[in-house]
Structure 1
């Protein structure tokens, strides 16, 4: 948790942003809290402006990242709970002027976008006591059974697919040997120790070289247990109880643009207040700065009590 030196000049109590980091990796050494201590956390480039606006920033390590067990990467409920639990902890951390009624914002991009999107739709049932004012979900990987795996399989970002495989297998107690060949099973320990700073160590791996049937991971998505696992981790089946802004680059090369747009449509169909913001920034990485530039006026308006204009009518 990071408390700003900037005085809070907005209305009411100083808000807390429960901030979900983008992909850090799977190893314990990748945990945001450890990266912050080592001054190597890349997310500080993006949340520093939140601090400069006077918000407290609470950054979750996620489940199993820096703690015993496998990091539950891409597991919807675990990531959503981690974001909400971090908000609860921040309210009770003893920062001046904060208490259990302190207003909350949720913000994240990529893995973090999926985590805060999951948190937004779980808040009403899992943390009804939190006053969530709004969520900024950038490039959320809302549907893992869609085009995401095929988009990154065998590319620079193939590590992300391997992280998700390890995280989902661990969370759902899937025997890796039931799907993976000997090479795939032997690779998992390396995956579970890898950090995104070592992305090239797992880059350009084709999933077909790791499976028992010699086919890509996607070939098993219609079969159990993966069919149920992927359906369980789809975001968009529950209505957020506060305004949400979804951003997504139209040229995203990791999480395809239609995935974010479909999440907006799913939430709109449930009556949620959603603003969907297409970005012209190049590729997945390019969308990060644009997202957090938009997050600043979004949170200023939400904490100021202003309504969000929904874009559901034009989706």
Structure 2
């Protein structure tokens, strides 16, 4: 496999933020497939196909009697405004909701674990290899319904627009709409949560919701290490095992490089020597977080020792949100790595959502941080 040197690539990583990735061709639920004509007539959030997903409960360690899991194929909005099909997973506890009001829904945006269709979160969860499974179990145990997106191009045919927080934000909001199409209340409070690429997707969804999905009752959000500045990520020297995945993600490898595996075991060999890696032309302008005000309580966490998403880039995004009048609760942690920060931050999300749901005071940190 031929690759090019990385030395000139850092400046191009931002431009490659939304570059499309060639995903391994996938299939709709039950291998049924859908024609583009059928997908093109569906409003965003429409359920196109659905199927029971008992394997997801097994992978999570949840007893079949305790929840109902459904894989969905739903309509969403792509990078050029076109209607696309996206897969996802909806899990609803069978026990009655014991909190205030109606059972809330959490729109989960998973972190990146690979670029092939078999790396889609709804498939990884069945094998017990999904990082986000830890906090999904916590949401279930607390009685929340879960609507998780696989993102465009992961689990379905087509390209995955890595870290394009507009497209991914659409995907997140539309999987919540799809959950309503499966019978969840149209007036239930909605929370959004994500880690890494999922953190960026969560932020994008929160920014887009008032205009794109005004009917959703968004109550709050939580993001850990949200991606928003791949230039800074590309300049890190500590990426080690993660760097090949990043390079694949932003398109710095020749077209012949296949991303058919899921991290870490599926990363191509021979890509840890960076001397022969280098630039490629970006296909689109960068899409960043912190473009507009967020009107609901939004907790953002980052780790000082994060070797993938620099702490400073998260703080910069928070500062921009604060400057626009957003209600941000920002915190840092001493988690020793990027993945560890996800576990720590994801574990805080349930408590934060519970506080918002029960009307406990959630003070913004903007006034004393910036």
TM-score w.r.t. the length of structure 2 is: 0.71
Q: Secondary structure at the match of 2:356?
A: helix
Q: Does the alignment pair 1:156 with 2:208?
A: no
Question: Residues 83-98 of structure 1: matches in 2 within 5 Å?
Answer: 83-94=172-183, 98=184
Q: Compute the displacement of 1:242 (Å).
A: 1.1
Q: Secondary structure at the match of 1:247?
A: strand
Q: Compute the displacement of 1:112 (Å).
A: 1.1
Question: Residues 230-249 of structure 1: matches in 2 within 5 Å?
Answer: 230=286, 233-249=287-303
Instruction: Summarize the Cα distance change of 1:311–1:26 in structure 2 as closer, same or farther, 3 Å threshold.
Output: same
Match of 2:114 among 25, 28, 47: 25
Q: Secondary structure at the match of 2:250?
A: helix
Question: Residues 163-178 of structure 1: matches in 2 within 5 Å?
Answer: 163-166=248-251
Match of 1:185 among 227, 241, 254: 254
Question: Partner of 1:114 in structure 2?
Answer: 200
1:273–1:308: 8 Å Cα contact kept in structure 2? no
Question: Partner of 1:124 in structure 2?
Answer: 210
* 1:52-103 deviation per Cα after TM superposition (whole angstroms, max 9, x unaligned): 0000111101000010112221112111111111111112212xxx322111
Q: Secondary structure at the match of 1:66?
A: coil
1:281–1:287: 8 Å Cα contact kept in structure 2? yes
Instruction: Find the aligned partners of 1:109 and 1:162 in 2 and give their Cα distance.
Output: 19
1:153–1:204: 8 Å Cα contact kept in structure 2? no
Q: Does the alignment pair 1:43 with 2:112?
A: no
TM-score w.r.t. the length of structure 1 is: 0.82
* 1:135-159 deviation per Cα after TM superposition (whole angstroms, max 9, x unaligned): 10000112223x1111168621113
Q: Secondary structure at the match of 1:229?
A: coil
Q: Does the alignment pair 1:229 with 2:285?
A: yes
Q: Compute the displacement of 1:203 (Å).
A: 7.3
Higher relative contact order (CA 8 A, sep 6+): 2
Instruction: Find the aligned partners of 2:203 and 2:169 in 1 and give their Cα distance.
Output: 7
Between Structure 1 and Structure 2, the one with more strand by share is: 2
Q: Secondary structure at the match of 1:300?
A: helix
Instruction: Give RMSD over aligned pairs.
Output: 2.1
Between Structure 1 and Structure 2, the one with more helix by share is: 1
1:154–1:204: 8 Å Cα contact kept in structure 2? no
Match of 1:133 among 219, 224, 239: 219
1:120–1:135: 8 Å Cα contact kept in structure 2? yes
Q: Secondary structure at the match of 2:302?
A: strand
2:105–2:176: 8 Å Cα contact kept in structure 1? yes
Q: Secondary structure at the match of 2:296?
A: coil
Question: Partner of 1:198 in structure 2?
Answer: 265
* 1:8-28 deviation per Cα after TM superposition (whole angstroms, max 9, x unaligned): 111110000000111121101
Instruction: Find the aligned partners of 2:94 and 2:188 in 1 and give their Cα distance.
Output: 18
Question: Partner of 2:342 in structure 1?
Answer: 288
Structure 2 unmatched runs, 5+:
1-89
Moved more, 41-50 or 98-107: 41-50
Q: Compute the displacement of 1:276 (Å).
A: 0.5
Instruction: Find the aligned partners of 2:180 and 2:215 in 1 and give their Cα distance.
Output: 11
